[in-house]
Amino acid sequence: MVERRASRQLLTARALSFLGLLLFAAAAWTQVKVEPGDALRLETDADPALCGVFRIQVGGSTLMPGIGPMDLAGLTLPQVQEVLKDRLVSAGYPKTATLQVRLVALPDMPVRFRGAVLRSGTVPFREGLRLSQVAALASPTEAADLQEVEITSAAGERVTVAFDPSDPTSGDPLLRPGDRVYFALRNRTSDVSVLGGVLKPGPIRFVPGLTVRSAIAYAGGLHPDAQMAAIVVEREGRLVSWVDWTAGDDAPLERGDVVKVPRKEEGPYVLVIGLVRREGRVSFRSGLTLTQAIRGAGGGLSNADLSRVQILRRINGNLKRFTFDLAKIDSREVPDPELQMGDVVDVPVLIPKDGGG
């Protein structure tokens, strides 16, 4: 009787463990976002000719025969599946057609790395490539949480490892084609993070009276390639200050703020930040408009407030903000404004309205 009860308990424990793995896998599937270079396998009973493996190009788009070009980078797999389903229906296929999309690994896929590192990028895959070798290339900053390094496979499977640079035999797994390595920031909301073009990027202990200039001083000062006229402060994901170091600007900081110091790059650019798929620089050219710059950053995310997009511009040393509604630009109610070199475009988060009356 005791043995039978113990056997039932063991089976129950195994069942719960298996269920937990299934739930974890399902959650990971809904969170993984498609990136340029990924490969998607499409399977549908709508038309055998539509099935196959398709690569996401550098710009984030892909071309599927019978469906047409689509910009899928930055979307989760359920969102990709929803977009493809809508395209099939628009192309005349029945709404009852089944469709499944999943990420797949291809042998020529490089390993990508990003996060709290000095260098983000890719490395060609080769047999025997390990996390320690990628970390040596990426150079994680002091702000990186090496106890929580995320490795996401090309198929969307995610694992977290504790990596110790002083002990390469511990937490140093072999990598696979298409793996994505993410070095997350330490969850220290009591600190201020100074990232980018400083000599010692990482967390700074917050003290009352801390400002952008004093935080940068604690971070070792500005790097020689720092873009000193375009330092920004983000608070809870929103831009709150823009500091021009060359004009003597400064701004007070609060706990949890992130100071971003961009680095100089070849050629002029505008900076697109906020709720876009690829936050960062967009190459500037004469005639570049607001909507073109946002498209150059991959477009707005699903929770972006496109009715309150701001252009931040220095005019005679003063910071000016101009707010635009992209729907009105699309409908040609208002013109699409041209940008100037050095402008900052801020796409804010959508704040849901209180429906409680």
Cα angle at 303 between 299 and 308, to 5 degrees? 75
Strand order in the sheet with 180-185: 121-123, 111-115, 180-185, 144-152, 158-161
Distance in angstroms (rounded) separating the CA atoms of residues 83 and 24: 24
Is there a domain that residue 292 lies in? yes
CB count in 10 Å sphere of residue 350? 16
3-state helix, strand, coil in the chain (%, to 5): 20, 35, 45
Whether 15 has a pLDDT exceeding 50, the answer reads no
Is there a domain that residue 302 lies in? yes
Whether 310 has a pLDDT exceeding 90, the answer reads yes
Distance in angstroms (rounded) separating the CA atoms of residues 39 and 49: 18
Number of domains forming the structure of the chain: 4
Q: CATH no. for residue 236?
A: 3.10.560.10
Range of the domain at 123: 111-185
Which residue type sits at 253?
L
Is there a domain that residue 2 lies in? no
Whether 108 has a pLDDT exceeding 50, the answer reads yes
Domain stop point among 185, 203, 236: 185
SS3 103: strand
Q: Specify whether 324 is located in the same domain as 252.
A: no
Residue of 35 and 26 predicted with greater confidence: 35
CB count in 10 Å sphere of residue 239? 21
237: number of CA atoms within 13 Å, CB side?
11
Is there a domain that residue 323 lies in? yes
* pLDDT tens-digit series, residues 242-292: 888 988 889 999 888 889 888 776 567 888 888 888 877 788 888 899 999
Q: What is the mean pLDDT of residues 50-74?
A: 75
Q: Specify whether 145 is located in the same domain as 98.
A: no
Question: What percent of the chain is modeled with pLDDT above 90?
Answer: 18
SS3 198: strand
In eight-state DSSP terms, residue 153 is -
pLDDT tier, 59 (very low <50, low <70, confident <90, very high otherwise) = low
Q: Measuring CA to CA, which residue among 157, 175, 147, 180 is closest to residue 31?
A: 157
Q: Name the CA dihedral angle for 187, 192, 196, 198, rounded to a multiple of 10 degrees.
A: -130
Amino acid 223: pLDDT:
86
Amino acid 18: pLDDT:
38
Is there a domain that residue 31 lies in? no
Amino acid 101: pLDDT:
85
pLDDT tier, 19 (very low <50, low <70, confident <90, very high otherwise) = very low
Whether 324 has a pLDDT exceeding 90, the answer reads yes
Stretch (H or E) spanning 101:
strand 99-104
Amino acid 322: pLDDT:
94
Is there a domain that residue 26 lies in? no
Amino acid 215: pLDDT:
95
224: number of CA atoms within 13 Å, CB side?
0
Calculate the average pLDDT of the chain: 80
Q: What is the mean pLDDT of residues 227-241?
A: 82
Domain stop point among 104, 126, 153: 104
Amino acid 74: pLDDT:
72
Amino acid 2: pLDDT:
44
